Structure 1
Amino acid sequence: MSLTRAAVRRPVTTVAAVLALVLVGSVSLSRLPVSLLPDVTLPLLTIRTDYEGAAATEVSRFVAEPIEEAIAATPGLVELRSVSRNGQLTTTARFAWGTTMPETVLNVRERLDNVRSQLPERATRPTLLTSDPGERPIAVLGLTGPGTLRAIARTAEEVHARRLEQLQGVASVAVVGAPEDEIRIDVDPNRMRALGLSPTDIATAVRNANATAQGGTIRRGQFRFSVRALTELRDVEQVAQTPVGPPGGSIRLRDIATVTLASGDPETITQLDGAPAVGLVVYKDAGANTVAVTRGIYQTIETLSEEFADINMSVVAAQAEFVTAALANLGREIFLGGALALLVILVFLGHLRSSLAIGLVVPLSVLVALVLLQLLDVSINILSLGGLALGVGLLVDNAIVVSEATGRHRHAGLAPADATIRATGDVASPLIAGTLTTMLVFGPIVFVRGLAAALFRDLSLSVVTALGASLILALSLLPVMLAGRRGRSLRASLDAQGGDSAGPSARREALN
């Protein structure tokens, strides 16, 4: 039994199944992640190492070479490139597409920890950064208030940033524009010259007093404990008590200089409406719903504004606004395209009922496609909606062919049910072949590797799923809508076969 014959004989079951799909599609629409672009993770890692005071040649020899030798054997590594500058090294490692990046990050981090002992003492610990184009801030907040910028920054770091990081979907919150505390030493040049000292002598004395030294290792049975000497300077008074001058002398730093706690020179200047401010940059998790996360951010801002009335929180930029506007424009284009297609169909077919049935296939196909997209982990973004918009004009093709063939058989004198079944049987094979041909154009994109596949996968899957849904609906639901009321159509079919002479058994067979 064909799909169309089964659907026409059991219209209630067919409509109920379609309504169930509509319900599931509506739920999928509310649960699908919403973002501007597909989540794309480039197989790229960046390693930054600082070697203060070293020339580029020394950085390349003593830092770049050990790091490259350590990570050169990482599985999946395709290209390794290092750029050495005065006092800084940047190493970029590119891996093959399809590499499992979380495992690779752990592998590279372990190799960097092992090579740490081979680096110069003044070189900092290598910092591993992941490159992700989707890791862009979804919101930027500005904090101002009557208090000092240092107090606002401390509240932002200890309260506001932590509260925002607790939201579901928020990966991290960066605090920018916060002044860093530093201990400032203002040396009296006359006293310094009188004691025969130079700025280099004072800097060396402070550096030696603030040195960190290992205390050795204590072994007790199978356990090993590392001992560390806490020799760092902890406050302003300890810095002021630092001995300077010849060894064994009684001269302290406070005798020739003024030691105070001050704010360092800002690396990032943040201003809001011309006034100094502290910024909060919010990043989301991969796959999180940008609109839902931003909604939670606004709710948290309202709560924090009530708890800290003296600190003004303002949303400087929110990606959700642009995402919502862009997706709304695409949704509007999809609606207008469907309305224009329905108008053209109504003008050329001249039959209101057939036109409405064809027009109903478009939104139903989109809802069914949303269910499939959720199963395929596709988010709602510009490319996936663009694929649906591209497929709107293609969705009505199958329905138009079925409707026109049904009208031709009805004009030949067949009953609506028989005309629909016979017409669909005549055009089913060409429809399936034509739809598969169109789907095969977009299908290979799913198997392409690289950045192009990561970007256009959502577009191709949207077109393929929408076309597949439209084909199934054109062969199942559309014949039911075109056949009309079942009893009248089947009774006409029985009359055409001989009316009552067909007997009760034939009538029961037709009604079943």
Structure 2
Amino acid sequence: MRSVIQTAVRRTVTVCMVVVIVFAAGILAAQSTPVSLLPDIAVPALGVLVTYPGASAASVEEQVTRPLDDALRSVGGATRLQTYSMDNAAALFFYFDYGVDLEAKSDEIRACIAKLELPAECAEPTLTTVDLNASAVATIAVWREDDDTEKLLADAQTLRGVLAGVEGVGDVVLTGAPADEIAVAPLQGLEMATLLLYETLSMGALDIPLGSYFEDGSPVSVRNVSDAATPEELGSLPVEMSFDRAVWTTLAGLAAQIAELEVQNGSPLTDEQVALLVSAGGMADALPFTVTPALVGLVRGLDYTRVTYDASETGRLIVPVSKIADVERVRTYETYSYYNGRPSVTVEVMAAAGANAVDISEAVRARLDGLHLDSSVLLLDDEAEFINDSIGNILSSLLIGGVLAVAVIFVFLRRFSLSLIISVTMPLSVLAAIAALYLLGVTFNMVSLGGLAVGIGMLVDNSIVVIESITKRRDKGEEAFESACRGTLDVAGSLFASTLTTVCVFVPILFITGLTRECFADLAYAVMLSLAFSLLVALTVIPSLYYLVCRMRKSGRGRDSGPSFASAERVYGRVLSSLLGRKTLVLLLALAVFGGSLALVFTGGTEFLPSIDKGLIEATLNFGTAVTPEQAAERAAEAERMIRENVENIESISYQVGKLGTMTADVTAALRIQLRESGAESTGRAVESIRRALSAVECSEVGVSAIDGVVAVLTSGFSSLSVSIRGESQEALAEIAQKVRDALPAEQFVQISDNLTQQSSEYQLHIDRTRCAEMGVDYSLLVQTLRVGLASVTPAHLVEDGRRSDIRLSFREGTVDSA
């Protein structure tokens, strides 16, 4: 230690250069470190989502959830496995211990899924992770005063393209914008041709690579080019109609009878008139179709001379898809979005992994300022604004604390040069810690900067002790070099022990597991590194700079003792002497203070993170599965009207309606209420008023809560208190859940709800296989036709002008509307 101190004191120029380098490295690291509200929290959880279109919750449970559960039980290390079965989808969630390798577990889960055979109609299972930092960096509302939907969608797509080009943006999500689809529906009466259409569309619209071959020593790729690139071309794809000779003969005879009817009538008949005459006269009883006007139009337009028969007397005729099905481009809404009562599109800007949220937000604001659209555009929520405010408060506290510390040092040391030397230690230690944090991959967030703010007062302690020790030796007449070396060496051991003691307080945080470590590890690193660098600075930089100043000033004086400090020392001496004579009283006072402080620990209340009121309230209305999104939108509009009538302090209300979320079958409405004035009291009153107003809305569940700026990031979607009940019987679970509800003190809760599956209506169809055989109807073909037609499927996609559209095959609307 002696040689290190002496080397630092001798090589003052070298020390100054190192200080400059550390300053530069710290500033560069500060500019390069990503900024976020909270640390990167890796939640050890994985989810498997599977969609099963058209399946009821019971079918999903039997055919998807249980097989997945049995297959994935072999995944090791999971502390808990939860499964959910709902209409059209299944979800499984794995929970692991903190520190587990999620990538390895993901591979293990994928391997298990690859060995499993799920129903063919199921979509490919998707594996998801839980990312608490995946919230939108910026949320933007786009609307028009004239409610022109076409122009609104065009402006929203333009905005999406502009924001997608911002560096660091991972995705731009539009909510409330319809999806373009190509709807294909068999003509009424020709529903049995659904599977023919499915085969034709899935094969005819294929645009896939087929492989490659070598030509002149070079590989040549081979690709099948789709026969259809537009809805019109899709309608012209050939489909083969196949019936036995009797059916074709009946169809040809029916066409002839229609022609005779028109001759007898003396004028052409409409398809509707012909359908009525044919049905009334029993002319098509032998056909396996229901005679409809659409079917009559088909019968009239077929060329029966082109029917070809094989040895089994099965006749085939090639016709275009448009002959037996309607093909049209449609727009479908999965969600609806509104801003202050007007239809809108909500644009959410998502950051890519590791991107700087503040930089993205500033770039988004710049793009919005330079963008000129006919639609109105408003930045609803800006995460960077809250991050800057929160981190700015911490930085200002850090700066104020540093200035006050330097002022106190100057008052007591009464030498500007010594105060300046010590004041260097704070930014030097902080910048050195920032550089080290950057190398460790720690971001600037409330926790890491809070750790630096916590240590700001402790950073100068070591330097003050060193300066005091050097000054005492200097006051005794020692040379500057000797006083700098010996004074520092006198206190080096004590400083090392005291710093190590403080550092040891934070070391256990790095070795614990769970959410606590994920949240507060950055705090520990910040405090430990800043203190460690402050010790290094105190033992090397401080004596070196002291010696440099002394050589420049050529002064042998250490400090002056002013009269004010002499009188203060005399008063302190008298008080100390008096207290030493009353040891029992001092001890009792100390115990009283300790006891009072301990009592505050149990009476002051606890929470995970402090609340920060943003004047933002969220209301959620759950309408269950029996309500359509259109009906829910009407009820949400009524809810908005009720809120405005009961709450005056409202700046704006925006809401989204639909099947919100990744694994919900219920139709919900999420309302975002922004108050003009924020404050815990005013926000609390607004929450209660909104809760009372929404109690009159017709829905299955209502939730109203204030959105907390910090806690919402970590606890969004989680209840304050949850009770888990496990069992095999749904009825028993419901009964126990009701008993738990009754046992809870309702007056202490704003909302009590459960996640029991919403019951939906279900008809069970029993098809007579014997009767099918007698009528010549293929049983499996009938079942598959009903499944495709009722559930709707997507056999292929079309890409037109760079825009991808799903091809949706289903029965015509109204084909099946009752049992």
Q: Tell me whether the two structures share a fold, i.e. TM-score over 0.5.
A: yes
> SS of the counterpart of 2:477?
coil
1:257-276 aligned within 5 A: 263-264=331-332, 266-276=333-343
In the alignment, does 2:409 pair up with 1:408?
no
Give distance in 2, aligned partners of 1:221 and 1:394.
69
For the 8 Å contact 1:417–1:486, the answer to whether it is kept is no
Determine the structure 2 residue equivalent to 1:34.
35
Determine the structure 2 residue equivalent to 1:389.
453
Q: Which moved more, 1:474-483 or 1:247-256?
A: 247-256
Q: Which moved more, 1:148-157 or 1:85-94?
A: 148-157
For the 8 Å contact 2:46–2:95, the answer to whether it is kept is yes
Give distance in 1, aligned partners of 2:326 and 2:433.
72
> SS of the counterpart of 2:140?
strand
Q: Deviations over 1:127-153 (max 9, x none)?
A: 332211011111112233568434543
1:396-435 aligned within 5 A: 396-435=460-499
> SS of the counterpart of 1:281?
strand
The letter for the 1-side match of 2:357 is: T
The letter for the 2-side match of 1:96 is: D
1:189-228 aligned within 5 A: 204=191, 208=195, 210-212=197-199
Give distance in 2, aligned partners of 1:382 and 1:471.
25
> SS of the counterpart of 2:37?
coil
Give distance in 2, aligned partners of 1:85 and 1:236.
38
* Structure that is richer in helix per residue: 1
Give distance in 2, aligned partners of 1:52 and 1:340.
66
Give distance in 2, aligned partners of 1:490 and 1:350.
18
> SS of the counterpart of 1:39?
coil
Q: 1:226 to 1:83 in 2, by over 3 A?
A: farther
From 446, 450, 454, the equivalent of 2:514 is 450
In the alignment, does 2:362 pair up with 1:295?
yes
For the 8 Å contact 1:368–1:469, the answer to whether it is kept is yes
Q: Deviations over 1:293-333 (max 9, x none)?
A: 22232344456x25xx4355432221111111111100000
Q: Deviations over 1:398-435 (max 9, x none)?
A: 01111111121122121233212111010001111111
For the 8 Å contact 1:212–1:229, the answer to whether it is kept is no
Q: Which moved more, 1:331-340 or 1:255-264?
A: 255-264
For the 8 Å contact 1:176–1:268, the answer to whether it is kept is yes
Determine the structure 2 residue equivalent to 1:376.
440
Give distance in 2, aligned partners of 1:429 and 1:176.
63
Displacement of 1:267: 3.9
Displacement of 1:42: 1.3
Determine the structure 2 residue equivalent to 1:71.
72
For the 8 Å contact 1:45–1:92, the answer to whether it is kept is yes
Determine the structure 2 residue equivalent to 1:356.
420
For the 8 Å contact 1:212–1:230, the answer to whether it is kept is no
Give distance in 1, aligned partners of 2:171 and 2:150.
21
For the 8 Å contact 2:64–2:90, the answer to whether it is kept is yes
Q: 1:2 to 1:220 in 2, by over 3 A?
A: closer
Give distance in 2, aligned partners of 1:234 and 1:104.
44
1:34-183 aligned within 5 A: 34-74=35-75, 76-109=77-110, 111-115=112-116, 118-145=117-144, 148-150=148-150, 152-153=152-153, 156-157=156-157, 159-181=158-180
Q: Deviations over 1:13-65 (max 9, x none)?
A: 11111011101111111001101011112121222233455444432221112
Q: 1:81 to 1:335 in 2, by over 3 A?
A: same
From 424, 440, 461, the equivalent of 2:525 is 461
The letter for the 1-side match of 2:64 is: V
For the 8 Å contact 1:338–1:393, the answer to whether it is kept is yes
Give distance in 2, aligned partners of 1:387 and 1:472.
19
For the 8 Å contact 1:149–1:278, the answer to whether it is kept is no
For the 8 Å contact 1:149–1:179, the answer to whether it is kept is no
For the 8 Å contact 2:211–2:223, the answer to whether it is kept is no
The letter for the 2-side match of 1:247 is: P
Q: Which moved more, 1:130-139 or 1:267-276?
A: 267-276
Give distance in 2, aligned partners of 1:375 and 1:220.
46
In the alignment, does 2:390 pair up with 1:326?
yes
For the 8 Å contact 2:484–2:547, the answer to whether it is kept is yes
The letter for the 1-side match of 2:505 is: V
For the 8 Å contact 2:12–2:548, the answer to whether it is kept is no
Determine the structure 2 residue equivalent to 1:247.
288
Determine the structure 2 residue equivalent to 1:437.
501
Q: Deviations over 1:210-234 (max 9, x none)?
A: 534887xxx9999xx9999999x95
Give distance in 2, aligned partners of 1:178 and 1:454.
37
> SS of the counterpart of 2:139?
strand
The letter for the 2-side match of 1:418 is: E
Q: Deviations over 1:325-355 (max 9, x none)?
A: 1111000001111122223333333333323
Q: TM-score, normalised by structure 2?
A: 0.51
Identity across aligned pairs (percent)?
30
Displacement of 1:122: 4.2
Give distance in 2, aligned partners of 1:253 and 1:297.
53
From 350, 353, 357, the equivalent of 1:283 is 350
Displacement of 1:114: 4.4
Q: Which has the larger radius of gyration?
A: 2
Give distance in 1, aligned partners of 2:26 and 2:172.
34
Give distance in 2, aligned partners of 1:235 and 1:302.
41
> SS of the counterpart of 1:277?
strand
Determine the structure 1 residue equivalent to 2:702.
none
Displacement of 1:113: 4.7
Q: 1:419 to 1:371 in 2, by over 3 A?
A: same
Displacement of 1:249: 6.9
Give distance in 2, aligned partners of 1:220 and 1:393.
68
Q: 1:291 to 1:404 in 2, by over 3 A?
A: same
Give distance in 1, aligned partners of 2:124 and 2:367.
36
Give distance in 1, aligned partners of 2:212 and 2:14.
75
1:481-492 aligned within 5 A: 481-485=545-549, 487=551
Give distance in 2, aligned partners of 1:375 and 1:322.
26
Give distance in 2, aligned partners of 1:124 and 1:19.
60
Q: 1:234 to 1:91 in 2, by over 3 A?
A: farther
Give distance in 1, aligned partners of 2:516 and 2:359.
28
Q: 1:384 to 1:64 in 2, by over 3 A?
A: same
In the alignment, does 2:470 pair up with 1:470?
no
For the 8 Å contact 2:227–2:233, the answer to whether it is kept is no
Q: 1:393 to 1:221 in 2, by over 3 A?
A: closer
Q: 1:161 to 1:111 in 2, by over 3 A?
A: farther
Give distance in 1, aligned partners of 2:387 and 2:212.
61
In the alignment, does 2:304 pair up with 1:317?
no
Aligned-residue RMSD, C-alpha:
4.2
Q: 1:437 to 1:317 in 2, by over 3 A?
A: same
Give distance in 1, aligned partners of 2:174 and 2:508.
44
For the 8 Å contact 1:165–1:172, the answer to whether it is kept is yes
Give distance in 1, aligned partners of 2:233 and 2:223.
29
Determine the structure 2 residue equivalent to 1:496.
none
Determine the structure 2 residue equivalent to 1:510.
none
Structure 2 residues without counterparts, runs of 5 or longer? 204-209, 214-221, 242-274, 276-283, 298-324, 557-819
Q: 1:248 to 1:89 in 2, by over 3 A?
A: closer
Determine the structure 1 residue equivalent to 2:795.
none
> SS of the counterpart of 2:396?
helix
Displacement of 1:250: 6.7
The letter for the 1-side match of 2:69 is: E
Determine the structure 2 residue equivalent to 1:503.
none
Structure 1 residues without counterparts, runs of 5 or longer? 187-191, 493-512
